[in-house]
Amino acid sequence: MSGTILIADDHPLFRQALALAVAAVAPGARVVEAGTLAAAAKAVSEADDLRLVTLDLKMPGAIGYSGIALLHAERPHVPILVVSGAEGANAAEEARAFGAVGFLRKDADLSRIEQAIAAALGGTPVAPRKADAVEQVRNEVAGLTPTQLKVLLAVLDGKLNKQIAHELGMSEATVKAHMTAIMRKLDVRNRTQAALVARSLGLDLSR
């Protein structure tokens, strides 16, 4: 199998273990590694032949499920397999809600990881889930553009528009325009409410 597979995890040894699993399932694939969410986002945007992303939720630059949302927004048709030590009974369900095709804990054995990688590469569909009010809002968050997600994450981090503008290389007016679009999509009236909605959906989950 040709193409690129991205392994996004901040632990080099675990990236090596995942690379071995990938090699067993897709020996012809090119493996790219990333140790931060920023590096993963860059790799996702640059790899035209990207076939799969394996993602750890608890990476530098990530808050809760924001890594899934950001990478899914960059390449919505590329499957994301979460392989993480994240705690919580609903972690797998929440990961799928934000765009992942599967969730494995890091203590899964190598053969289980290989099976999950094979299933993800095979395009195993995400099971349909009941659409309720919370699910609809989750879908709106997952549907934000990459830039809008970066702005929202900066707001969650307590940064002002001026700081966000400097960090993202844009004008304050552009930041305000993105915030207006975010608030419209999330059906809230101000940035505080937008942050509360994001936190309620797990974007501010403790790392």
At residue 194 the predicted structure's pLDDT band, cuts being 50, 70 and 90, is confident
Do 167 and 193 reside in the same domain of the chain?
Answer: yes
pLDDT of residue 177: 94
Instruction: Answer with the residue of higher pLDDT: 170 or 108.
Output: 170
* Residue 180: inside a domain: yes
The residue count for the chain = 207
Is 36 exposed, middle or buried (CB count within 10 Å of its CB: 0-12, 13-18, 19+)?
Answer: middle
* 111, 159: one domain: no
Q: Mean pLDDT check: name the lowest of 47-51, 79-83, 96-100, 131-135.
A: 131-135
Q: What percent of the chain has pLDDT over 90?
A: 28
Number of Cβ atoms within 10 Å of the Cβ of 125: 7
Q: What is the CATH number of the domain that holds 50?
A: 3.40.50.2300
pLDDT score recorded for residue 107 = 82
Q: CA of 29: how far to CAs of 4, 26, 118, 142, in Å?
A: 6, 6, 12, 28
> What is the C-alpha to C-alpha distance for residues 37 and 66, in angstroms, rounded to an integer?
9
pLDDT in tens, 17-58: 889 889 989 998 999 999 998 899 999 999 989 999 999 988
Tell me if 28 is assigned to some domain.
yes
Identify the domain boundary among 98, 121, 144.
121
**Whether residue 137 sits in one domain with residue 110:** no
Q: Are residues 70 and 167 in the same domain?
A: no
Q: Give the pLDDT confidence of 110-167 residue by residue, as tens digits.
A: 888 888 999 998 854 444 444 455 566 677 777 788 898 889 888 888 889 999 999 9
Residues 162 and 83 in one domain: no
Asked if the structure places residue 126 within a domain, the reply is: no
Whether residue 75 sits in one domain with residue 14: yes
Residue 89 is predicted with a pLDDT of: 63
Strand, coil or helix: what is 80? Answer: strand
Domain that residue 18 falls in: 4-121
Name the DSSP letter for residue 85.
-
Q: Which of 166, 173, 96 is nearest to 138 (CA)?
A: 96
My answer on whether 18 and 115 are in the same domain is: yes
* 117 lies in the same domain as 28: yes
Residues 117 and 141 in one domain: no
97, 138: one domain: no
- Which of 185 and 6 is assigned the larger pLDDT? 6
Residue among 79, 68, 166 at smallest CA distance from 116: 79
Same domain flag for 180 and 152: yes
| Total tally of structural domains belonging to the chain | 2
Both 19 and 77 in a single domain? yes
